[in-house]
């Protein structure tokens, strides 16, 4: 069951919708093409600093994963998920 759906509505970026299962991307639509995640997504993390912490914490800021169309075309995607807004960072053919 897909538990979360986000759509990027920023006009300066390409059309991107992402569905997640258990907090991890499971499928997406990019520029009108449907993709299914076909490998284990890798977290894109960043360190978070705060004076009260003795060591920097890490937070997930996005995901890198391979996704495949119904026709068998696979691409590697890097997405940012800041504040619930998905942004396409990179696409590898």
Q: Which two tokens stand for residue 26?
A: 């499971």
pLDDT band at 2 (very low <50, low <70, confident <90, very high): very low
| Total domains, the chain | 1
Give the predicted TM-score (pTM) of the model: 0.74
Spatial contact of 58 and 48, defined as CB atoms under 8 Å apart: yes
Give per-residue pLDDT as tens, 58-86: 667 788 999 999 999 999 999 988 777 88
Residue whose C-alpha is closest to residue 36's, from 66, 81, 15: 66
Domain range for residue 87? 4-92
């Amino acid at each position: 069951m897909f538990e979360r759906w986000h759509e990027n509505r920023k006009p300066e970026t390409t059309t991107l919708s992402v569905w997640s299962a258990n907090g991890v991307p499971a499928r997406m639509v990019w520029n009108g093409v449907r993709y299914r995640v076909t490998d284990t997504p890798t977290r894109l993390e960043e360190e978070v600093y705060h004076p009260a912490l003795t060591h920097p914490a890490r937070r997930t800021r996005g995901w890198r994963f391979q996704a495949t169309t119904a026709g068998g075309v696979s691409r590697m995607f890097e997405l940012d998920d800041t504040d619930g807004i998905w942004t396409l960072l990179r696409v590898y053919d």
